[in-house]
Structure 1
Amino acid sequence: MVEEEGRIIAVAEDHLWLQTTQKSSCDSCRGRNVCGQRLLQNLNESHGLLKVPLDGRAQRDFKLQDRVSIGIEESTLVRASAIAYLIPLLMLIVLAYVGQQLGGEGLSILGAVLGLLLGSLWGRYRLAAADCQSRYQPRLLQ
Protein backbone atom coordinates (compact mmCIF):
# COMPACT_ATOMS: atom_id res chain seq x y z
CA MET A 1 0.00 0.00 0.00
CA VAL A 2 1.23 3.48 -0.90
CA GLU A 3 0.74 5.75 2.09
CA GLU A 4 0.72 9.53 2.43
CA GLU A 5 -0.06 12.00 5.15
CA GLY A 6 -2.41 14.92 4.67
CA ARG A 7 -3.75 17.87 6.64
CA ILE A 8 -7.53 18.31 6.92
CA ILE A 9 -8.64 21.62 5.41
CA ALA A 10 -12.41 20.91 5.30
CA VAL A 11 -14.82 18.38 6.79
CA ALA A 12 -18.07 17.54 4.96
CA GLU A 13 -20.85 15.08 5.75
CA ASP A 14 -19.38 12.14 3.86
CA HIS A 15 -15.80 13.16 3.00
CA LEU A 16 -12.71 15.11 4.04
CA TRP A 17 -10.70 17.56 1.98
CA LEU A 18 -6.99 17.01 2.58
CA GLN A 19 -3.97 18.99 1.55
CA THR A 20 -0.90 16.91 0.80
CA THR A 21 2.63 17.98 -0.05
CA GLN A 22 4.28 16.28 -2.99
CA LYS A 23 7.72 15.04 -2.03
CA SER A 24 10.73 14.27 -4.13
CA SER A 25 13.55 11.80 -3.62
CA CYS A 26 15.59 14.63 -2.02
CA ASP A 27 14.03 13.76 1.35
CA SER A 28 15.86 10.42 1.46
CA CYS A 29 19.20 11.51 -0.02
CA ARG A 30 22.35 11.74 2.13
CA GLY A 31 23.57 14.87 0.36
CA ARG A 32 20.35 16.83 0.79
CA ASN A 33 21.94 19.41 3.11
CA VAL A 34 24.56 20.54 0.59
CA CYS A 35 22.69 20.02 -2.68
CA GLY A 36 21.36 22.88 -4.79
CA GLN A 37 18.63 20.64 -6.20
CA ARG A 38 16.96 20.45 -2.79
CA LEU A 39 16.82 24.24 -2.62
CA LEU A 40 15.09 24.33 -6.01
CA GLN A 41 12.70 21.59 -4.89
CA ASN A 42 11.75 23.56 -1.77
CA LEU A 43 11.02 26.63 -3.87
CA ASN A 44 8.76 24.63 -6.18
CA GLU A 45 6.98 22.54 -3.53
CA SER A 46 3.44 21.87 -4.67
CA HIS A 47 0.37 21.06 -2.65
CA GLY A 48 -2.41 18.79 -3.80
CA LEU A 49 -6.03 18.69 -2.67
CA LEU A 50 -7.70 15.33 -2.21
CA LYS A 51 -11.29 14.39 -1.51
CA VAL A 52 -11.26 11.34 0.79
CA PRO A 53 -14.49 9.53 1.72
CA LEU A 54 -15.21 8.99 5.42
CA ASP A 55 -16.34 5.38 4.77
CA GLY A 56 -18.93 5.43 7.54
CA ARG A 57 -16.74 7.16 10.11
CA ALA A 58 -18.19 9.94 12.22
CA GLN A 59 -17.64 13.48 10.97
CA ARG A 60 -17.11 14.69 14.54
CA ASP A 61 -13.96 12.52 14.86
CA PHE A 62 -12.08 14.86 12.53
CA LYS A 63 -11.04 18.47 13.11
CA LEU A 64 -9.54 21.10 10.85
CA GLN A 65 -5.73 21.06 10.67
CA ASP A 66 -5.53 17.45 12.00
CA ARG A 67 -3.10 15.20 10.16
CA VAL A 68 -4.40 11.87 8.85
CA SER A 69 -2.88 8.97 6.93
CA ILE A 70 -4.34 7.88 3.63
CA GLY A 71 -3.40 5.03 1.35
CA ILE A 72 -4.08 3.35 -1.98
CA GLU A 73 -3.19 -0.16 -3.14
CA GLU A 74 -0.17 -0.46 -5.44
CA SER A 75 -2.12 -2.51 -7.99
CA THR A 76 -4.80 0.19 -8.17
CA LEU A 77 -2.15 2.85 -8.69
CA VAL A 78 -0.51 0.84 -11.48
CA ARG A 79 -3.87 0.23 -13.18
CA ALA A 80 -4.82 3.92 -13.04
CA SER A 81 -1.39 4.92 -14.37
CA ALA A 82 -1.73 2.49 -17.29
CA ILE A 83 -5.14 3.90 -18.18
CA ALA A 84 -3.94 7.48 -17.91
CA TYR A 85 -0.54 7.14 -19.64
CA LEU A 86 0.02 3.82 -21.39
CA ILE A 87 -3.26 3.56 -23.33
CA PRO A 88 -2.96 7.05 -24.92
CA LEU A 89 0.68 6.33 -25.82
CA LEU A 90 -0.18 3.00 -27.42
CA MET A 91 -3.05 4.55 -29.37
CA LEU A 92 -0.69 7.30 -30.55
CA ILE A 93 1.77 4.72 -31.87
CA VAL A 94 -0.87 2.49 -33.50
CA LEU A 95 -2.70 5.32 -35.27
CA ALA A 96 0.58 6.92 -36.35
CA TYR A 97 1.58 3.60 -37.91
CA VAL A 98 -1.80 3.22 -39.62
CA GLY A 99 -1.53 6.77 -40.95
CA GLN A 100 1.97 6.07 -42.26
CA GLN A 101 0.77 2.96 -44.07
CA LEU A 102 -2.22 4.75 -45.59
CA GLY A 103 -0.64 7.93 -46.84
CA GLY A 104 2.75 8.98 -45.58
CA GLU A 105 4.02 11.51 -43.11
CA GLY A 106 1.04 13.87 -43.03
CA LEU A 107 -1.45 11.12 -42.19
CA SER A 108 1.04 9.66 -39.72
CA ILE A 109 1.16 12.94 -37.81
CA LEU A 110 -2.62 13.27 -37.95
CA GLY A 111 -3.01 9.68 -36.75
CA ALA A 112 -0.59 10.27 -33.88
CA VAL A 113 -2.47 13.36 -32.70
CA LEU A 114 -5.82 11.62 -33.12
CA GLY A 115 -4.58 8.54 -31.26
CA LEU A 116 -3.30 10.59 -28.36
CA LEU A 117 -6.54 12.56 -28.18
CA LEU A 118 -8.79 9.49 -28.38
CA GLY A 119 -6.69 7.55 -25.87
CA SER A 120 -6.73 10.47 -23.45
CA LEU A 121 -10.48 10.95 -23.77
CA TRP A 122 -11.11 7.23 -23.29
CA GLY A 123 -8.86 7.17 -20.21
CA ARG A 124 -10.57 10.21 -18.76
CA TYR A 125 -14.00 8.65 -19.36
CA ARG A 126 -12.89 5.32 -17.90
CA LEU A 127 -11.37 6.82 -14.74
CA ALA A 128 -14.40 9.08 -14.21
CA ALA A 129 -16.94 6.25 -14.57
CA ALA A 130 -19.10 5.73 -11.49
CA ASP A 131 -17.90 2.18 -10.86
CA CYS A 132 -14.27 3.30 -10.92
CA GLN A 133 -14.45 6.44 -8.81
CA SER A 134 -14.49 4.65 -5.46
CA ARG A 135 -11.85 2.13 -6.59
CA TYR A 136 -9.31 4.81 -7.46
CA GLN A 137 -9.83 7.00 -4.38
CA PRO A 138 -7.46 6.93 -1.43
CA ARG A 139 -8.78 5.52 1.84
CA LEU A 140 -8.34 6.70 5.42
CA LEU A 141 -5.91 4.43 7.24
CA GLN A 142 -6.26 5.57 10.82
Structure 2
Amino acid sequence: MITETGRIVAIDKQCLWVETIQRSTCESCSAEKGCGQSLVAKWGGKTSFIRVLLEGRDPSVYQLHDEITVGIPEAVVANGSLLVYLTPLVAMMAAVFFAEFAGLPEVGVIGLAALGLLLGGGAVRWHSYRYRNDRRVQPVLMDDVEPVQWSPEASRKEG
Protein backbone atom coordinates (compact mmCIF):
# COMPACT_ATOMS: atom_id res chain seq x y z
CA MET A 1 0.00 0.00 0.00
CA ILE A 2 1.39 3.39 -1.00
CA THR A 3 0.51 5.98 1.63
CA GLU A 4 0.47 9.75 1.36
CA THR A 5 -0.45 12.44 3.85
CA GLY A 6 -2.72 15.19 2.67
CA ARG A 7 -4.89 18.08 3.74
CA ILE A 8 -8.68 18.08 3.36
CA VAL A 9 -9.74 20.88 0.98
CA ALA A 10 -13.42 19.94 0.46
CA ILE A 11 -15.97 17.69 2.11
CA ASP A 12 -18.89 16.12 0.23
CA LYS A 13 -21.58 13.72 1.44
CA GLN A 14 -19.80 10.69 -0.01
CA CYS A 15 -16.17 11.75 -0.32
CA LEU A 16 -13.33 13.97 0.78
CA TRP A 17 -11.12 16.00 -1.54
CA VAL A 18 -7.56 15.82 -0.30
CA GLU A 19 -4.63 17.95 -1.47
CA THR A 20 -1.31 16.12 -1.46
CA ILE A 21 2.20 17.32 -2.12
CA GLN A 22 4.02 14.46 -3.80
CA ARG A 23 7.41 14.31 -2.18
CA SER A 24 7.52 10.93 -0.48
CA THR A 25 8.30 8.98 -3.64
CA CYS A 26 11.01 11.41 -4.79
CA GLU A 27 12.97 10.99 -1.55
CA SER A 28 13.30 7.24 -2.02
CA CYS A 29 13.90 7.11 -5.79
CA SER A 30 17.41 6.29 -7.05
CA ALA A 31 17.02 8.59 -10.09
CA GLU A 32 16.30 11.65 -7.94
CA LYS A 33 19.13 13.82 -9.31
CA GLY A 34 18.31 13.18 -12.98
CA CYS A 35 14.55 13.38 -12.76
CA GLY A 36 12.54 16.41 -13.81
CA GLN A 37 9.68 15.44 -11.49
CA SER A 38 12.01 15.64 -8.51
CA LEU A 39 13.20 19.09 -9.54
CA VAL A 40 9.64 20.39 -9.93
CA ALA A 41 8.59 18.87 -6.57
CA LYS A 42 11.51 20.52 -4.79
CA TRP A 43 11.01 23.84 -6.53
CA GLY A 44 7.31 24.35 -6.02
CA GLY A 45 5.82 21.19 -4.62
CA LYS A 46 3.44 19.67 -7.15
CA THR A 47 0.04 19.51 -5.56
CA SER A 48 -2.68 17.19 -6.69
CA PHE A 49 -6.21 16.60 -5.51
CA ILE A 50 -7.38 13.11 -4.63
CA ARG A 51 -11.00 12.07 -4.21
CA VAL A 52 -11.30 9.70 -1.24
CA LEU A 53 -14.60 7.88 -0.70
CA LEU A 54 -15.96 8.02 2.86
CA GLU A 55 -17.41 4.48 2.62
CA GLY A 56 -20.19 5.12 5.11
CA ARG A 57 -18.19 7.30 7.49
CA ASP A 58 -19.85 10.42 8.88
CA PRO A 59 -18.60 13.49 6.95
CA SER A 60 -19.18 15.74 9.98
CA VAL A 61 -16.24 14.07 11.73
CA TYR A 62 -13.82 15.69 9.27
CA GLN A 63 -12.96 19.38 9.11
CA LEU A 64 -11.36 21.46 6.37
CA HIS A 65 -7.55 21.60 6.58
CA ASP A 66 -7.34 18.42 8.72
CA GLU A 67 -4.36 16.25 7.81
CA ILE A 68 -5.23 12.67 6.96
CA THR A 69 -3.39 9.70 5.51
CA VAL A 70 -4.66 8.01 2.37
CA GLY A 71 -3.51 4.75 0.88
CA ILE A 72 -3.52 3.45 -2.67
CA PRO A 73 -2.82 -0.22 -3.43
CA GLU A 74 0.27 -0.81 -5.59
CA ALA A 75 -1.74 -2.88 -8.08
CA VAL A 76 -4.07 0.06 -8.71
CA VAL A 77 -1.12 2.34 -9.45
CA ALA A 78 0.54 -0.21 -11.76
CA ASN A 79 -2.64 -1.10 -13.65
CA GLY A 80 -3.68 2.54 -13.90
CA SER A 81 -0.30 3.50 -15.33
CA LEU A 82 -0.52 0.76 -17.92
CA LEU A 83 -4.03 1.85 -18.87
CA VAL A 84 -3.19 5.55 -19.11
CA TYR A 85 0.03 5.15 -21.08
CA LEU A 86 -0.56 2.08 -23.22
CA THR A 87 -4.17 2.49 -24.35
CA PRO A 88 -3.58 5.65 -26.44
CA LEU A 89 -0.35 4.20 -27.88
CA VAL A 90 -1.96 0.90 -28.82
CA ALA A 91 -4.90 2.74 -30.42
CA MET A 92 -2.48 4.94 -32.36
CA MET A 93 -0.45 1.95 -33.57
CA ALA A 94 -3.62 0.09 -34.59
CA ALA A 95 -4.69 3.14 -36.61
CA VAL A 96 -1.26 3.33 -38.27
CA PHE A 97 -1.35 -0.36 -39.21
CA PHE A 98 -4.87 0.06 -40.59
CA ALA A 99 -3.80 3.11 -42.62
CA GLU A 100 -0.76 1.29 -44.00
CA PHE A 101 -2.86 -1.76 -44.84
CA ALA A 102 -5.38 0.45 -46.63
CA GLY A 103 -2.58 2.02 -48.66
CA LEU A 104 -3.21 5.60 -47.55
CA PRO A 105 -0.60 8.26 -48.32
CA GLU A 106 1.69 9.52 -45.56
CA VAL A 107 -0.64 12.41 -44.68
CA GLY A 108 -3.49 9.94 -44.19
CA VAL A 109 -1.32 7.72 -41.99
CA ILE A 110 -0.37 10.71 -39.83
CA GLY A 111 -3.99 11.82 -39.61
CA LEU A 112 -5.21 8.38 -38.61
CA ALA A 113 -2.37 8.08 -36.09
CA ALA A 114 -3.50 11.32 -34.45
CA LEU A 115 -7.11 10.15 -34.53
CA GLY A 116 -6.14 6.83 -32.95
CA LEU A 117 -4.22 8.63 -30.22
CA LEU A 118 -7.23 10.85 -29.49
CA LEU A 119 -9.61 7.88 -29.48
CA GLY A 120 -7.30 6.03 -27.08
CA GLY A 121 -7.25 9.06 -24.79
CA GLY A 122 -11.04 9.21 -25.01
CA ALA A 123 -11.22 5.53 -24.05
CA VAL A 124 -9.09 6.22 -20.97
CA ARG A 125 -11.31 9.17 -20.07
CA TRP A 126 -14.46 7.05 -20.45
CA HIS A 127 -12.94 4.25 -18.35
CA SER A 128 -11.99 6.64 -15.54
CA TYR A 129 -15.47 8.19 -15.57
CA ARG A 130 -17.17 4.78 -15.54
CA TYR A 131 -15.14 3.48 -12.60
CA ARG A 132 -14.92 6.72 -10.58
CA ASN A 133 -16.99 5.24 -7.71
CA ASP A 134 -15.57 1.72 -7.82
CA ARG A 135 -14.07 1.25 -4.38
CA ARG A 136 -11.53 -1.30 -5.67
CA VAL A 137 -9.64 1.45 -7.50
CA GLN A 138 -10.15 4.34 -5.06
CA PRO A 139 -7.75 5.69 -2.46
CA VAL A 140 -8.75 4.65 1.04
CA LEU A 141 -8.58 6.46 4.36
CA MET A 142 -5.89 4.99 6.58
CA ASP A 143 -7.57 5.16 9.97
CA ASP A 144 -8.94 2.83 12.62
CA VAL A 145 -12.53 3.02 11.35
CA GLU A 146 -13.72 0.07 9.31
CA PRO A 147 -15.72 1.01 6.21
CA VAL A 148 -19.45 0.40 6.41
CA GLN A 149 -20.43 -2.50 4.19
CA TRP A 150 -23.99 -2.48 2.91
CA SER A 151 -25.54 -5.52 1.33
CA PRO A 152 -29.14 -6.33 0.44
CA GLU A 153 -28.97 -9.52 2.57
CA ALA A 154 -27.96 -7.62 5.70
CA SER A 155 -30.78 -5.13 5.34
CA ARG A 156 -33.35 -7.94 4.94
CA LYS A 157 -32.12 -9.67 8.13
CA GLU A 158 -32.45 -6.48 10.17
CA GLY A 159 -35.95 -5.66 8.91
Deviations 1:58-96 (A, max 9, x none): 223222222111112222222222222201101111211
Cα shift at 1:54 = 1.1
1:64 counterpart SS class: coil
Which residue does the alignment assign to 2:21? 21
Mark the runs of 5 or more structure 1 residues left unpaired by the alignment. Answer: none
1:100/1:107 contact within 8 Å kept: no
Say yes or no: does 1:109 pair with 2:110.
yes
Distance 1:74 1:25 in 2: 13
Cα shift at 1:29 = 6.9
Distance 1:7 1:92 in 2: 38
2:60 counterpart SS class: helix
Distance 1:40 1:56, change over 3 A: closer
Which residue does the alignment assign to 2:150? none
2:17/2:52 contact within 8 Å kept: yes
Cα shift at 1:140 = 0.7
Mark the runs of 5 or more structure 2 residues left unpaired by the alignment. Answer: 144-159
Say yes or no: does 1:128 pair with 2:129.
yes
Instruction: Report how many aligned residue pairs link the two structures.
Output: 137
Cα shift at 1:14 = 2.3
User: Over the residues paired in the alignment, what is the CA RMSD in angstroms?
Assistant: 2.7
Distance 1:80 1:98 in 2: 27
Question: Which residue type is aligned with residue 68 of structure 2?
Answer: V
Cα shift at 1:42 = 2.4
- Overall identity of the aligned pairs, in %: 31
1:92/1:112 contact within 8 Å kept: yes
Distance 1:62 1:91 in 2: 43
The equivalences for 1:1-142 within 5 A come to: 1-23=1-23, 26-28=26-28, 41-101=41-101, 102-129=103-130, 132-135=131-134, 136-142=137-143
1:6/1:69 contact within 8 Å kept: yes
2:42 counterpart SS class: helix
Distance 1:40 1:71 in 2: 23
Distance 1:74 1:29, change over 3 A: closer
Cα shift at 1:117 = 0.8
